[in-house]
Amino acid sequence: MEKRKNRSDKYQYLLLEISSSHEMLETFRNEDSISHRLNPFQYDEDIIDLEDQLKEEFWRVVDATLTDRQKQVIKFSADGYTQMETAKLLGVNQSSITKSLHGNVDYRKNKKVYGGIEKKLKKIVDSDPKIKEILDKIAELRQEKW
């Protein structure tokens, strides 16, 4: 019986692992890596600290302003659950999760969107002085280093 060919057989290549000495690996600085060139702020301690502060402030706003159901939805979303998985865990339809996140549309009032976690949080975050300060500091540091 002949082995069935996979589509990926056309582009699969053999990889070769070679052991390298520690000294040889030390010659490659982090600044020379592709990752650093694509994201030069990835290992900046000041920016990482500010991003951690930003996360704390975001969750402070979430806890202070959202309903219990909205908090559940946003936390599942932040943990990487899909809308379908979140709906199953909460015992609701996927469409209600979409409405919780993005709001509902009232077609009688020229498609006016009301409700929704995203809209609510954006409005609050845009006016929160602590969050604005952190975002300004991050932008300033990135501007200096770029």
Q: Calculate mean pLDDT across residues 42-59.
A: 87
**CB-CB contact of 88 with 97 (8 Å):** no
Residue 76 forms part of a structural domain = yes
3 state SS of 122: helix
**CB-CB contact of 103 with 118 (8 Å):** yes
Residue 35 forms part of a structural domain = no
DSSP string, 23-67: HHHHTS-GGGSHHHHH-TTTT-HHHHHHHHHHHHHHHHHHHHHS-
pLDDT, greater one: 5 or 52: 52
Residue 66 predicted with pLDDT over 60: yes
**What does the pLDDT look like over 15-39, one tens digit per residue?**
566 777 767 666 666 666 666 666 6
Residue 91 predicted with pLDDT over 70: yes
Question: Where on the phi/psi map is residue 65: left (φ > 0), alpha (ψ -120 to 50), or beta?
Answer: alpha
Residue 115 forms part of a structural domain = yes
Residue 88 forms part of a structural domain = yes
Provide the domain limits for residue 62. Answer: 41-145
